[in-house]
Structure 1
Amino acid sequence: MFEKIEEVQNYLFKYLETRLDLIKTETQERLENIVIQLIYLIVLLLLAALTGIFLFIMLALGINEWLDSRYVGFLIVFGLLAASTAIWAKAGRQVQQAVRQLLFRVFNHK
């Protein structure tokens, strides 16, 4: 009788050990996927930012050429960027709430 109890105990221990290993592997896989996605997103955002910078420089040079000036195009582009920065800063709370909702949907999506 004690042999049966020991056998069931061993099977139960092996089952729990296997289950914990499975949970550990699944968690590690999820973390790896998150890290890979974050690295991809960081590189993509960096490339998009560089592209945006060059586009704004080209826009400023185009305005300079159109207005036959050396600085007015850069001042206009600066003004547009400063205004958009101010608007973005004013909308901080709403933007933060929208990002929270987006992250909630992304991380709770199965």
Structure 2
Amino acid sequence: MDKFFRIRIDSDNIENLTNFIKENPLDIGCTGGITEYKDGHFSIEAYGNENETKKLQEEALKKSDKITIDLVDITQYLSDRQKEVGTGDRYKDKKESLQGYGTKVKQ
């Protein structure tokens, strides 16, 4: 498995942060977008593999007075979580009922 990182991107200016995100397409997952803190700085979490993260670091260095990046290697965490993911169609034998607001599609 390739290395995978949680990336926290910070700035004291929302426009700088917004522009950085637009210039560097990121997987922000379901993080909720940009967070504003009481001390006046702004932050967003993103996710990326090793190559994406390296490129992002290089871009951040060019704007070191405006953008800071903090990385956390989450490779092992993802590997452990993926072990919990089942395979196949758990609803095939109709032992469990479907839940949620999805629409049933005939295949």
The TM-score with structure 2 as length reference comes to 0.26
Greater gyration radius: 1
The TM-score with structure 1 as length reference comes to 0.26
- Higher strand share goes to which structure? 2
**Highest RCO, 1 vs 2 (Cα 8 Å, sep ≥ 6):** 2
- Higher helix share goes to which structure? 1
